[in-house]
Copies of this chain bind each other. A is one copy, B any other.
Amino acid sequence: MKKIINAPENYTDDMLKGIYAAHGDQVKYANNDLRSYCIANKVPGKVAIVTGGGTGHLPLFLGYVGEGLLDGCGVGGVFQSPSAQQIFEVSKEVEAGAGILYLYGNYTGDIINFGMAAELCSMAGIAVKSITGADDVNSGAPEIRRGVAGIFFMYKCAGAKAAQLGTLDEVYEAARRAKENTRTVGFALTPCVIPEVGKPNFTLAEDEMAMGMGIHGEPGIWNGALKTADEIAEESLDTLLCDMPVRPGEEVALLINGLGATSVEELYILSNSVTEILASKDIKIYKTFVGEYATSMEMAGASISLCKVDGEMKEWLNYPVRTPFYTQK
C-alpha cells in the first residue's frame, strides 16, 4: 500500500486535524469530536444543510461545507457512515432557526444513521427534512441507485436557495429539482486501497476497465478492455440520455469528475469527447465543471454527470461559494 500516512487507524483523524489546522478560519468541530464538522460562522435565519458519509471521497462530503453551500457534515471512517450521534451534534451546532435539510448519498448505513439523527432532532424540536442523492444510473433502479458525483448539483442548488434565505420547503424543493434532473455514469481503471485493509478490494488487468463501478468499488455492469475517451463518452451518454432524455435545444450542466488518480489532462480529453457528442445532438452545455468533485482516494477513473437546467437552476449554479475545497465567484 503506497500512501503518505502514519498509522492506518489514524487516517481519518490525521486528515481531519490537517484540515482544521489549515482552515480554522472557515470550519470547526462540535462536541469536541473531530468528526462533527461544522461551518465556523453560521447565518441566523438560514436553513442549515447537513451532509455526511464516509472518508475517502474528498472533496465529498466535508469539502462542500462553507459559504453558499453546506453547513455541517458527519464524517465517518473510510467508506463508513458517520454515527447518528455525530450527525445530531452537527445538527444542533449549525441549526440557525429555520430548520435543517439532510442531503446525503443513498447508502444503507447513511440512511439508517441520518434517520436516527432526524428523530433525535425531532425530539429536540428541530425541524428536519431529508433527501438523498441517487444519480448513478448503472447502479440499478431509481429507488436503489447510489449517490455519486451528481450530488454536487443538489448541493449547489440547495446551497444557493438556502443562502438566499429560502424556507426549508423551498431548499428541499431546490435539492429535489436538481436530483430529478441529474444522472451520472462512472467507470474505474484501477482499484483503491482502504488503509486499514492494506490491499485493493478488487483487481483489474492492465488493459481492463470497469464500466459502472461504484465509488467504493461496487461492481459495475461490465469489465473489459479499456476503451478510448471517445468510446467511453459515447457509451456513457447513451446510458445517461436513455435514462433521462434531453431534447435538442435543451440545456445541461456537465460535470466531468475524476475519481482520484486520473490526471486532469485526461478529464479534459474526456470532456472534449462529451462536448462534441452533445453538440452533435444539439444539446446545449450551459456550464462545464471539470475536476475532482467526488473521489475514491487513489482510484483511477472518472464519471460523467448531466444536470438539465432551467433559468432558476442556472442562477443557483452560478451562486458564489467559498469552502476550503471549492470556490466559485
Q: Please give the count of copies of this chain that the complex contains.
A: 2
Stretch of A104-112, A142-150, A153-161, A266-274 on the interface side: A266-274
Whether B272 lies near A4 (C-beta < 8 A) is no
Considering only CB atoms, which chain B residue lies closest to A190 in the complex? B2
Q: Contact mask A288-316 → B, CB, 8 Å, 1/0? A: 10111001011010100000000000000
* Residue from the set A271, A272, A285 with the largest chain B CB neighbour count within 10 Å: A272
Stretch of A128-136, A171-179, A320-328 on the interface side: A320-328
Considering only CB atoms, which chain B residue lies closest to A4 in the complex? B266
Kindly list chain B residues whose C-beta atoms are within 8 Å of the C-beta of A206. Answer: 2
Kindly list chain B residues whose C-beta atoms are within 8 Å of the C-beta of A298. Answer: 261-263, 300
Whether B4 lies near A232 (C-beta < 8 A) is yes
Distance in Å: Cβ of A27 to nearest Cβ of chain B? 12
Considering only CB atoms, which chain B residue lies closest to A290 in the complex? B22
**A9 at interface (Cβ–Cβ under 8 A)?**
no
Whether A263 lies near B21 (C-beta < 8 A) is no
Kindly list chain B residues whose C-beta atoms are within 8 Å of the C-beta of A262. Answer: 3-4, 298
Distance in Å: Cβ of A319 to nearest Cβ of chain B? 13
Top-5 shortest CB links A-B: A18-B272, A18-B268, A22-B288, A261-B261, A18-B271
- Taking A11-B265, A15-B266, A18-B269 as known contacts, 17 extra A-B pairs with beta carbons closer than 8 A to each other, sorted by chain A number, are A2-B209, A4-B266, A4-B269, A4-B302, A6-B269, A6-B273, A14-B273, A16-B268, A18-B271, A19-B268, A22-B271, A56-B263, A58-B265, A59-B264, A263-B297, A263-B298, A291-B325
